[in-house]
Amino acid sequence: MFGKTTTSDAQKTALHPYYFLFSLFARPRPNNKRLLSNLITFQTKVEVFDSLEELPTEQQELMLRARNTMKEAYAPYSKFHVGAAVRLANGKIVVGSNQENAAYPSGLCAERVAVFAASAQYPTVPIRQIAVVANSDEFQLSQPVSPCGACRQVLKEYEDRDRVPMMILLGTLTPTVYRLENVEQILPLSFTRRNLSEA
């Protein structure tokens, strides 16, 4: 079950950007104290900006690179265009766009195109940030779109490999931008290399 908590209208005017807090939790049965002791709760913090200009300059640049790359996406089937741009610890920016195929599973999302390209070109350089911008030819997106499950797993792999947080920026052609401080925010209770070595 998902729940969303936001600030009140009065608080929103005083706090900028404001935060969305999403909680994932198991609902215990009434009068069952044992289940309460086994409760696991996850919270995701999403900073919401009303315009690109509210971001630091380097994050604005990354978002613009992702937006420009989105225009070059090869998406003849879904008409859903996505661009991604990653910033490395050495300051380099590597971009990628979604690449579709008539045999649908053969395509690849923009996030993985960008991250795989970055790792291939700079295999020892950590990824610090990723910006993802999406748009559809058939309708207007009202809010930013988060990476799919497969992309989240890939991003988590590289964040763990590099041992540094990977900031995530999400946007569309609308002014709103979402910012998350690391991949853990969109993939709690993740499967990692540590799980492969446990007895």
Q: Which of 54, 72, 111, 159 is catalytic?
A: 111
Residue type, 86: V
Spatial neighbors of 173 by CB under 8 A, at least 6 apart, are 67, 133, 135, 140, 141
Q: How many Å apart are CA 122 and CA 194, to the nearest integer?
A: 24
Q: How many CA atoms lie within 13 A of 60 on its CB side?
A: 9
83 DSSP β-pair partners? 97, 133
- The partner residues of 82 in beta bridges, in order of sequence, read 134
The H-or-E segment that residue 128 falls in is strand 127-136
- In this structure, are residues 62 and 83 in contact, taking their beta carbons and an 8 Å threshold? no
Query: Token match 């971001």: residue?
Result: 55
100 a catalytic residue: no
Beta strands in 30-110 (DSSP E): 41-49, 80-88, 93-97
Structure tokens at 17: 């950007």
Residues designated as active site: 111
